[in-house]
Amino acid sequence: MLKMNRDLHQLHGREVIALEAEALRQLELMIDRSFADAVDLLMSCSQRVVVSGMGKSGHIARKVAATLAATGTPAHFVHAAEAAHGDAGMVMPGDVLLVFSNSGDTAELQPLYAHARRLKVRLIGVSRNPDSLLMRTADIGLLLPQVAEACAASMAPTTSSTMMLALGDALAVAAMRARGLSGDDIRALHPGGAIGRRMSKVSDVMHSGDRLPLVRLDTPMTEVVTTITRKRLGMTGVLDKDGALVGVITDGDLRRHMTDVANARAEDVMSLSPKVIEQSASVEDALEMMRAHRITVLFVVTAAGKRAPVGAVQIYDIAASPPWGQ
C-alpha cells in the first residue's frame, strides 16, 4: 500500500510539471508586439518600475520586482492592500506600474489604478482575463493563455503563477539585454553572496606577493617542503632562470617522492606545464577550467601567453568543494 501511494505521488508530481511545462509553451507562443512594447516602456521609465499584485500574484510581483532590480531596471514592490492605506504614495510621476492579477478584477488593486491615472503613470497589466478591469485600464496588456490550474479543483494558483513568474523573468532579462549590461554590470548589482563571489575577478581572490609560493628549478626539496608548509597553499610553483613558470609541486607530489626528498631538487619532483589563467578572468572562468582539468589550483598571469605568475587561486578560495563533487 505504501509503495502504491509513493507511485501515485510520483505520478501526480509529473502531471503537475507536465501541465505547467505545457502552459509555458503556450505562453511562449503568445509573446508578441505587446511584450516588445512593454519592454520598451520599462526601458523608457525615468523613475522606477512599481510592481504590485494581491495574494499569490503579489508574491510573484515581489519576486519580479527583485529580479528587475537585480538585472538593471530600478524597481520596487508595493503591496496592493497597503496601497489603499498610504503606500500608494510610493508611486510617483515618471514611474511605470506593472500589475499581476490572474482574474484582473481584484478589488484591492483598483485604488492603485486610480492613483496611477491621476499621476499619468503608465500601466502594464498581466492577466488571464482579456475583459478584466486591469486589461481594460492598462496601457499595455500582457495576456496569459487560458490553461487550467494544476490543482484538482483548478482553483489554487499554480499554473497561472508559474506563467506570471516566467513572464516577469522574460521582461527583466529582455530589458537587461536591451540595456547591454555586461558581466561587470551584473557583478556590481550582486556584491555579496554566491553570485557576487562567482562573478568576481580572479585578481580579487588570488594569493599574491609574499603569500605566493614559488621556488627555482634547483631549489633543494628540503627548502621546497619548507615553502609549501609556510605558504599554506598545499603547493608551490617552480620557476626557470628567466622567472617563467615551468612546473608545480603539490602535497601529492611530495607523498609520491617521499624517499627522494632528502637529496632531490625541485626539477626532479615537479609536474610539468601547470595550468594558468589571466588575472582579468572571472572566478566562474577559473571554476570551469578547474572542472575541465580536474585540478584544484591555477596560477595567475597578467595576460595570455605570459608565464611569469603574479598569483595563484585555489578551488577552496571560491567554492566549498571541488566542482566535480569530490
Report the C-alpha gap between 174 and 78 in whole angstroms: 23
Local structure of 270: helix, strand or coil: coil
**Displacement of CA 169 from its chain's centroid (Å):** 12
- The 311-314 sheet, strands edge to edge: 276-278, 297-301, 311-314
Report the C-alpha gap between 17 and 162 in whole angstroms: 10
Beta strands 75-79 and 96-100: pairing type?
Answer: unpaired
Local structure of 246: helix, strand or coil: strand
pLDDT of residue 120: 93
Map out the domains of the chain with their CATH numbers: 2-181 (3.40.50.10490), 202-318 (3.10.580.10)
pLDDT of residue 315: 82
pLDDT of residue 285: 87
pLDDT in tens, 214-247: 999 999 998 999 999 998 888 899 999 999 999 9
pLDDT of residue 152: 66
The four Cα atoms 37, 143, 56, 115 give a dihedral, to 10 degrees, of 60
pTM: predicted TM-score of the whole model, two decimal places: 0.63
- Whether 38 and 171 have beta carbons less than 8 Å apart is answered as yes
Local structure of 60: helix, strand or coil: helix
pLDDT of residue 321: 42
DSSP string, 125-186: EEES-TTSHHHHH-SEEEEPP----SSTTS-SSSHHHHHHHHHHHHHHHHHHHHHT--HHHH
Local structure of 251: helix, strand or coil: helix
Report the C-alpha gap between 148 and 160 in whole angstroms: 8
Which segments of 184-269 are extended strands (E)?
Answer: 214-216, 235-239, 245-250
Instruction: Find residue 207's DSSP bridge partners.
Output: 312
Q: Which residues of the chain fall below pLDDT 70?
A: 1-4, 84-86, 152-154, 181-199, 319-326
pLDDT of residue 35: 96
Instruction: Find residue 141's DSSP bridge partners.
Output: 125
- In angstroms and rounded to an integer, the radius of gyration of the C-alpha atoms of the chain is 28
- Whether 201 and 223 have beta carbons less than 8 Å apart is answered as no
Report the C-alpha gap between 283 and 313 in whole angstroms: 9
pLDDT of residue 84: 67
